[in-house]
């Protein structure tokens, strides 16, 4: 019997900028990683790694998603928590892993300062997009933004 998660994974239609890996091997389809390399926007050229933990009751519960790459982003905090509505209050069983990956990709092409986890980054994006772009480039290259050091991810 194939699980809903296995079915979702077999039907993935990822953007070319996204890759999926199974660090525990193909037998553990409930824990995997997705790398995203945005091909446009502020984060162009960066590489961001997300871990997915799929619940045994999926699709009735959204997967747990964490960003393993430290990133200067309004919707991702420094602990890797991700603010994406479909991972929380807007999750519905009709949504899929594919939908989440596209949602994550969209956070990099269209960061949202309206629903932030990193309030400083959101304020800079809202008030001074040029400075925000400069902070993102510095963080991607490996450097400090304020008191926070970001390892190189470009």
* 67 among known catalytic residues: no
Token pair recorded at residue 133: 């772009």
pLDDT by residue (tens digit) across 107-153? 999 999 998 999 999 999 999 999 999 999 999 999 999 999 999 99
Counted domains in the chain:
1
From the list 18, 67, 83, 113, the catalytic residue is 83
Q: Considering the domain boundaries, does residue 153 fall inside one?
A: no
Statement: residue 76 has pLDDT above 80: yes
Averaged pLDDT score across all residues of the chain = 95
For 67-74, what is the mean pLDDT?
98
pLDDT at residue 3, as a whole number: 84
pLDDT by residue (tens digit) across 3-23? 888 888 888 888 889 999 999
Q: Considering the domain boundaries, does residue 149 fall inside one?
A: no
Q: Considering the domain boundaries, does residue 117 fall inside one?
A: yes
pLDDT by residue (tens digit) across 58-67? 999 999 999 9
Q: Considering the domain boundaries, does residue 33 fall inside one?
A: yes
Q: Considering the domain boundaries, does residue 151 fall inside one?
A: no
**Domain housing 53:** 4-142
State the sign of the Cα–Cα–Cα–Cα dihedral 91, 102, 6, 70.
Answer: negative
**pTM score over 0.85:** yes
Q: What percent of the chain has pLDDT over 70?
A: 100
Q: Considering the domain boundaries, does residue 147 fall inside one?
A: no
Q: What is the CATH number of the domain that holds 71?
A: 3.10.110.10
Q: Considering the domain boundaries, does residue 150 fall inside one?
A: no
Please state the length of the chain: 154
């Amino acid at each position: 019997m194939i699980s809903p998660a296995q079915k979702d994974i077999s039907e993935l239609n990822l953007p070319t900028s996204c890759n999926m890996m199974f660090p525990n091997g193909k037998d553990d389809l409930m824990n995997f990683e997705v790398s995203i390399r945005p091909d446009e926007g502020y984060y162009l050229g960066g590489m961001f790694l997300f871990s997915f933990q799929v619940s045994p009751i999926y699709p009735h519960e959204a997967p747990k998603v964490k960003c393993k790459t430290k990133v200067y982003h309004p919707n991702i905090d420094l602990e890797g928590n991700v603010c994406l509505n479909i991972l929380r209050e807007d999750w519905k069983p009709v949504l899929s892993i594919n939908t989440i990956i596209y949602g994550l990709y969209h956070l990099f092409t269209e960061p949202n300062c309206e629903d932030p986890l990193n309030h400083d980054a959101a304020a800079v994006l809202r008030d001074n997009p040029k400075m925000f772009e400069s902070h993102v480039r510095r963080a991607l290259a490996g450097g400090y933004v304020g008191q926070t050091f970001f390892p190189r991810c470009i």
